[in-house]
Amino acid sequence: MSKQFPPGFIWGVSTSSYQIEGAVNEGGRGVSTWDTFSHLPGKIANNDNGDVACDHYHRYRDDIALIADLDVSAYRFSIAWPRVQPTGSGAWNEEGWAFYERVIDELERKGIAPHVTLNHWDLPQALEDAGGWRNRETVERFTEYAREFARRFGKRVRSVATHNEPWVVAILGHEKGIFAPGIADRAAAYQVSHHLLLSHGKALRAMRAQGTTAALGIVLNQSPAYPADPDSEADRAAARLGDGTLNRWYMDPLFRGAYPADVLAYLGADAPKIEAGDLEIIATPMDFLGINFYMRQFCSAAQPPQQPPYEYGKTEMGWEVYPSALAVHLVRLAFDYSPPPIYITENGCAMPDVLEGDAVHDPRRIEYFRAHLEAVAQARALGANVQGYFAWSLLDNFEWAEGYDKRFGLVYVDYASQRRVLKDSALWYRDFIRAQGATQTKD
C-alpha cells in the first residue's frame, strides 16, 4: 500500500442516529418522521424499521472501541433531534443530551475526534405535523436547536455539519415521496430545499455567536452528470439539468449567493418563495464542505433511459461503480467555487456480504475503497483541497427504504444477536490508514 496522503489528513468513519441507535422509546426520546414513516406498511423493504437497529444506544462504548481498533481518529455521527428536544420546540430533554455527552466523553477517552451532524433526517414528528420543512417556522426551531448544541458542545467537537444531504430530504422526501415524510409535490420539495439552506445559514450564525470552536459546514450528496451519448444534444441537456438540480442548486446559493437561473426557469411556478436577505444568509462563509459521493449521474434523454455500461460493476443498491467521477467532481468544485477544505463525509458501498464463522470476505468493497481513495489522491494532486475522508459506514445499519437488506458497514452486524464482526474491508482500511503514516492527533 503506497503512501498517498499527508500526515494531517483526517481518517474517519461515519454513521447516523436513526440508522444505528434504536432505543426509540427510551430516555425520553420523542417521535421522529422516520419512526412514523417506517411504520407505515409497505414503505420499507420487509417492513423494517429503526426501533432496534444496531442497538448503538446501549452498545456505543463497544462501537467506539471498534473505531479505536481500526486506528480511525475521527467519528462522524448525528444527533437525533427528537432525543434532545422531543417535540422540536420547548424544553430540552436532559437525558437525551446526556447520551451524546457520554458518546463525546468516550470518544475523547479514546482520542477520537467527534464530527457531528445536526440533521441526518430524523425531524421531530411534532414539527412535521406543523408543516415540517415546508413551514418557514421550522427554520427558527432548527436554529434554536443548533444554538443549544453549540452552547453545550461547540467547544468539544471538531466539526458540526448542519444538514446531511438536503437534496435527499427535499427530493426523495417531498417530490418522489419515497423517504419520510412521503410527500410527492415538486413545489413543496423546492420550498423545503430553500428552508433547509436558510436554516443552515442561520444555524451557522447562531453557533458562531455562541463562540463555538468547531469547524462549521454542511454535507451535500453530489455527483457529476455525464451525458449517456456525448454527441447527443438531448443527453447533454439532460446532464446540464441533472448537474443543476443536484449540484448547482446547492453549491450556487451556498458559494455564490444565487440559485442557478436555468433551474429556476425549469421549475417555473414550482420555484421556492425566497424572502429578501435569505440568499445572503445562505451564503454565510463555512469552515468546511462535506461531500458524500457514491456514483456519477448517467443522463439519458431516451425513453426508456439508456443504462450505463457498468464497466466497473454495480453495488447491491444497483448503483454504478465509477470512481474517476469523484476526482472529476472534486476538481470541478475547486475551480468553480473555491470552497473551504473539503471532507469526503461519506463514501462506500453495499455488497452481498456473507458471514463465514468469524469473517466476512468482501474483496469488492476493498476494491471500491481503494479506487475511490485513489481518485481523492488524484483530485488533491490536481488542486482540490480535500482534507478528510470518512468511510460509510462503521456498521451495517438501517438503510432507509431498503431496510436491513443492504449492508454498507466495515463491520458486519448480525442483527439477531447484535454481534459485530470486522469485515476484511475494515482490516484493509486500518492498514491503509497505517500506511499513510497518519500522525494526526487523536484528540
Q: Which residues are catalytic?
A: 165, 346
Out of 63, 235, 320, 346, point to the residue binding ligand IFM (CB under 6 A): 346
Which of positions 311-330 make contact with ligand IFM (CB under 6 A)?
none
Closest CA to 118 of 140, 94, 147: 147
Q: How far is the CB of 234 from ligand IFM (least distance, A)?
A: 29
What mask, x for binding ligand IFM by CB under 6 A, covers residues 70 to 109?
----------------------------------------
| Phi, psi dihedral angles at 421 (to 5 degrees) | -130, 125
Element (H, E) at 434: helix 424-435
Closer to ligand IFM by CB, 247 or 436: give it: 247
Contact between residue 216 and residue 147 where contact means Cβ atoms under 8 Å apart: no
Instruction: Work out whether 292 is an interface residue with ligand IFM (CB under 6 A).
Output: yes
Rounded CA separation 196/139 (Å): 7
| Phi, psi dihedral angles at 164 (to 5 degrees) | -100, 120
Give residue 397's region: left, alpha or beta (phi > 0; psi -120 to 50): beta
Closer to ligand IFM by CB, 154 or 173: give it: 173
Out of 392, 412, 428, 432, point to the residue binding ligand IFM (CB under 6 A): 392
What mask, x for binding ligand IFM by CB under 6 A, covers residues 213 to 252?
----------------------------------------
Out of 35, 106, 122, 165, point to the residue binding ligand IFM (CB under 6 A): 165
Instruction: Please provide the DSSP assignment of 110-140 as one string.
Output: HT-EEEEEEESS--BHHHHHTTGGGSTHHHH
Task: Calculate Rg over the CA atoms of the chain.
Answer: 20
| Phi, psi dihedral angles at 100 (to 5 degrees) | -70, -30
Rounded CA separation 338/69 (Å): 36
Contact between residue 95 and residue 23 where contact means Cβ atoms under 8 Å apart: no
Closer to ligand IFM by CB, 120 or 134: give it: 120
Out of 399, 411, 428, 438, point to the residue binding ligand IFM (CB under 6 A): 399
Closer to ligand IFM by CB, 202 or 420: give it: 420
Out of 16, 73, 199, 212, point to the residue binding ligand IFM (CB under 6 A): 16
Rounded CA separation 381/230 (Å): 27
Closest CA to 398 of 1, 5, 15, 40: 15
CB atoms within 10 A of CB 313: 12
What mask, x for binding ligand IFM by CB under 6 A, covers residues 248 to 287?
----------------------------------------
Residue type, 193: S
Q: How far is the CB of 192 from ligand IFM (least distance, A)?
A: 17
Closer to ligand IFM by CB, 349 or 360: give it: 349
Instruction: Work out whether 148 is an interface residue with ligand IFM (CB under 6 A).
Output: no
Closer to ligand IFM by CB, 193 or 292: give it: 292
Question: Which residues bind to ligand IFM, rule: CB under 6 A?
Answer: 16, 19, 165, 292, 346, 392, 399, 408
